[in-house]
Amino acid sequence: MVDQMVNAGLVDEVRYIFIPDADYTKGIRRIIGVPEMDIYLREETNIDEDDESKKMLLQSSITNIKGNTHLLIFHQLDKIQRLINEKMWLVRHIIVTGVFKGDRKEVVDEAWRNTILQPCLDIVKRFLESDDHNIIIE
């Protein structure tokens, strides 16, 4: 997945918001990719395009992004599991992978509406209409 993000322009996106002395602990700079690419983005202009060290720096950044993504997923799944076990929340699963397999925009848009948007709206509506939550919808 990270490799696909890199191929789709992740480096350029991070480069666009990169500020060398920025605080990576706040705001949008906390997103995965920015802190991990710091060294690469600082050094890329000082290294020739064909230099092997530039490729190694980029690969190191990508490896760090993959590792941090793995940790993020682990922590998010742990939080979800705690909500299920400790708070007894009913958690719904919406599988979105198949939505993005269409080649045409119309196919993807329709799959998005039918597979993701409508089921999510239905879940939220049922939650809001539930007497268990003491919420009144007018």
Give residue-wise pLDDT tens across range 33-63. Answer: 888 998 999 888 888 777 888 889 999 999 9
- The chain-wide mean pLDDT, for the chain, equals 85
Domain that holds residue 77: 1-88
Please check whether residues 50 and 100 belong to one and the same domain: no
What's the rounded Cα separation, in Å, for the pair 120 and 94?
8
Place of tokens 């983005």: 41
Please check whether residues 126 and 80 belong to one and the same domain: no
Specify the number of domains making up the chain.
Answer: 2
What local confidence, expressed as pLDDT, does residue 108 receive? Answer: 85
Closest CA to 42 of 59, 24, 22, 20: 20
Token reading at 124 = 């939220």
Reported confidence tier of residue 135, pLDDT bands at 50, 70, 90: very low
Reported confidence tier of residue 27, pLDDT bands at 50, 70, 90: confident
Please check whether residues 48 and 111 belong to one and the same domain: no
Please check whether residues 46 and 74 belong to one and the same domain: yes
